Structure 1
């Protein structure tokens, strides 16, 4: 299971721990029912900092060397551009209750 979170960079460890705890009961149930599970919470900072969890995920998926570097750069750029887009539209009605 992979869950992507885009926290502020100063909250990446906290976000990782929260995600691990969030699925604790579900992973226990899966193990009890005979399934093998692997939880991979991944954090990419809102300003484009890529956490080590993303590097670990790509490695586990056998994405290595230049492809991993390119993927990490793309993840960082996407997170940063998305955050910028949300910030630029913070005053639009879309983000406020009517």
Structure 2
């Protein structure tokens, strides 16, 4: 199970620990039922910093070398662009009461 989180960079370690704990019971239940289960929380900082968890995930998925470098760059750019988009709309109403 892969869980992506985009926290502020100063909260990367805390976000990782939270996500690991969040699925602990589910992982235990799946293993008890005979399944192999692993939780892989991945953090990409809101300003584009890619944590080591993303590097580790790509390695486990056998994405290495230039392909991994390109994937990490795309993850960085996507996080930055998404954060910029959210920030640019911070004053817009998201829910309208009619």
TM class by smaller structure: over 0.9
In the superposition, the TM-score normalised over structure 2's length comes to: 0.96
Q: Quick check: 1:86 aligned with 2:86?
A: yes
**TM-fit CA distance, 1:97:** 6.0
Query: Residue 39 in 1 paired to residue 39 in 2?
Result: yes
| Structure 1 segments unaligned to the other structure (5+ residues) | none
Aligned residues: 97
Residue aligning to 2:56: 56
Deviations 1:38-67 (A, max 9, x none): 110000000000000000000000000000
Shift of 1:93: 1.2
CA RMSD of superposed structures (Å): 0.9
Residue 67 of structure 1 is matched in structure 2 by 67
Long gaps (5+) in structure 2: none
TM-score, normalised by the number of residues in structure 1: 0.96
